[in-house]
Structure 1
Amino acid sequence: MSISVKGKMPSITCVCVCVFQPIRSVSVLREGYVELPSVSLDPQGELLASFSTRNDTGIILAGFSKASTRKSRQARQPFLAVMLISGGLEVHVNMAEGGSVHKVVVKSRSGSFSDGQEHSVILQRNRKMLVVLVDEDHQEMVRLSSEKASLTLTSLYMGGVPPGEGAGLLRTTSSFYGCIRNLALDSKLLDLSAAVRYHNVDMDSCLLEERPKRVLLPDDTDLDAEPTPDPARTPSPPPGQLSALTPGTLTCASMDNTSSIPEAQQFGISRHSHMVLSINPNTVRRSFSLELSVRTYTQSGLIYYMAHANQMDYATLQLLGGHLFFTCDKGSGPATATFPVPVNDGQWHTVSDYTLLGQER
């Protein structure tokens, strides 16, 4: 979508506030993982998560101390791992450098925890005692080597680890394949949108297998040729909302022909499809805000652009590699903001409260 602003605009300083719902679930695919910021399991701490899978072996959680990056003496470094091994759940923990590894094995009474059903795992630490609860009715415990020390995990991974990470420490480095959600530390749910990095996962979903690939129909049109509008199918733009850049050319988006999504516009069916909104610059004083919802499968594209006639003062929201990328400039240099989670999953996402502040000139 292109938004054009003509006339005098205020000098602006850019502040971007993106309001998104927290992400609590992730679908881990082959060789996938999510890396989260550092966490600490205190002497009276608790860590919990829910998982579901049909694969009998894979990493659910794995955390390492900063020292674990040193290859020498790697097997003696502090770490924590929650894994499925042949359908059973195992917890391995080493509290201190040079310490011993403590292990807990929990077996399912039904044969396997990889039955496609949701299961919960809770780690409750009470000083030197670590209690492992699975589904709140399978309980095992182990005594730890340290009573007072916190276990600080500078790298915490969900669903798997990067290649080479954890070698010599973990019983398996196989990636989990399925859904992990509601990860919580000390009764506080963690927001997965704060992930440091991730690979081969589907955020904000809970799938046991990869989504079906979209079938792309052959394109029998010449994209280099300018499309010819069909008067019978192209709706007339509502007054004050849509206007044509050049009379006689196709310049606006196709309306939702199914009438199932009120006030929605569809772009990309025709080449150069866009919408132009006229904004009175006198109404844009010290601030303005914009809210829109978008859904798409495309990797990159322009969502909106607005600018002063000199093109030096502008604001734009783009989709780059599936991620939202916001830029604005008052003429002295651009300010940018990005959102780390892809939004090109075909679901509706709402972006709200983009605000530009400044002084009139």
Structure 2
Amino acid sequence: MHHLAKLITSQPDPSRGKPTGDAVYSPSALTVPDWEDLFSRATARRSGVPAGSRVGHAEVRALKSVTAFFAATMGTFGGGHARTALTAYLADDAIPWLLAGASDHVHRRLLTHTAQLTILLGNMCADDEHHALAQDYHRTAAHLAAEAEDPHTYTIAIRTLASHALDLGHQQAALTLTEQAAATATRHSSPLTQSFTQSQLALAQARAKDRQRSLRALHHAEALHSHADQDPTDPFDSYPTAALHYQRARTLTALKDHQAADQAFHASLHARAPQARRARALTTALLAESQLLQGNLEESLTTWKHFLTDYPGLRSARATASLTTMRQALRPYSAHPEVALLEEEAASL
């Protein structure tokens, strides 16, 4: 928790400047001790419940409720929205509660929810392309989860760290981390969390050109998901069907099975909740890219129009990158009347 406090207080207001450390995303930092090792270290360092004013279940409920709020906010408006508020909340409420007196059970629950909020803050940073800071938050969340004796949240932190690394092109390190997350989930977590890790394992193996293992992991993820219980109101105890279809589409794209990937993208879009605007925009952009890659210009143009419907109001560097990709990909077709209209609309955003 002390590292989290130091990390948060070292960051300027995101609205006023670039966060510290963004230039030093470190592939060498993509190594995190496995659950058993980290858990034993964390429990060895524990020195009992802090003294002083006491906190209880009301504070646990508060952390849980704001976790759902910030997850929904990012899903609707992007990682650049309310990141300052989440940083301030951790500094002003979560960390002081961790330093206050509490029962052992309450303290561990506070650690769990603080770890989950830290994962969300890392996701916001990644979505807004503050990559080193995202990496540090995800690693910190894994350590907090170990202090909380919570392998479920640890697994999600490691899977998220791996997913971010894969997006940045660190394929081998991402595969190793994903295997670590999947192994931990198999030993300690629910079928839903196992599905979450297996779907990422499928993508990592596809990027490594291991088609057989990739498809096996994908089928395993789908089987686990079909039998899993989940709480749709808890962002850390749910894995929406739309998200699984999205991961299947990305995996099939990596395996160059583009027609099947397009079907999965469509399935993901069909299953998305209306408020999941960020995910819908990113999924739509990938579908439009895939359609254009296969020579389906008219379909791609229709899909890009849907992307431009969701894009306004998003504060997401990833979505902005998709807008740039659209303009670049359509440049060779600039004589097409609909392309010209799309370019005009994009230029106004």
Give the TM-score range, shorter chain: under 0.3
Q: TM-score, length-normalised on structure 2?
A: 0.24
Q: Per residue, is there more strand in 1 or in 2? A: 1
Higher helix share: 2
